[in-house]
Copies of this chain bind each other. A is one copy, B any other.
């Protein structure tokens, strides 16, 4: 008996809707009734697929934890491209910060939530670290942490300010940090050029 092929549509629909509402309005702010009503199903059906709201929350966070796909671009392009991609996401009106940080902020001391949030942050830091190692940077660990700080800083700032320029500011800071670590970075923006000429003049 092949495991029913086209059947798990409902569970996905529930999860997709929960994801959207949790992320946009907050986890505590969205009730299961609201999710069911949004899809047009009965609350009973929802509870037939997820045993509790907690299970739905866990599935939501697990779904947000997507592993970064491999890329054929150069390590430097991948690192700086992270900030370009952030800027695009900031410009989207539905961007509301990091779902993991938000979940920790509103669910407080919940152990499992914190655990997945830490795992997510660490996975991004490790991706930076690996790229830096490829570039031959000596202290890749410390620099990767600093790049991760810039990512989360720009996300937090955009969450309150709704200003995609925060991603560009982070990218410029990241460029300075990379150059300081001996990485050759091409494609310098006007702002960066101004910064460097200023430095020469000093």
Q: With an 8 A cutoff between CB atoms, is A127 at the interface?
A: no
What's the Cα separation between A182 and B176 when bound, in Å?
A: 13
Residue of B nearest to A199 (CB): B182
What's the Cα separation between A169 and B169 when bound, in Å?
A: 18
Closest CB in chain B relative to A89 CB, distance in Å: 16
- Tell me whether B118 and A26 are in contact (CB under 8 A): no
- Tell me whether A198 and B156 are in contact (CB under 8 A): no
Given contact pairs A108-B96, A153-B152, A114 touches B180 in the complex (Cβ within 8 A): no
Q: With an 8 A cutoff between CB atoms, is A107 at the interface?
A: yes
Closest CB in chain B relative to A146 CB, distance in Å: 4
Residue of B nearest to A113 (CB): B160
- Tell me whether B198 and A121 are in contact (CB under 8 A): no
A194 surroundings in chain B (CB, below 8 A): 139
Residue in contact with A180 in the complex, picked from B166, B191, B199, CB distance below 8 Å = B199
The interface stretch among A40-48, A50-58, A97-105 is: A97-105
List the interface of chain A (C-beta within 8 A of B).
Answer: 24-26, 28-29, 96-98, 100-102, 104-108, 114, 117-118, 121, 138-139, 142, 145-146, 148-157, 159-161, 166, 169-170, 172-173, 176-177, 179-182, 191, 194-195, 198-199, 202
13 CB < 8 A contacts A-B? A24-B108, A25-B108, A29-B108, A101-B156, A104-B159, A114-B160, A121-B161, A138-B198, A142-B191, A149-B157, A153-B153, A173-B177, A180-B199
- 6 residue pairs, one from A and one from B, having the closest CB atoms: A153-B153, A149-B153, A182-B202, A106-B106, A102-B105, A146-B173
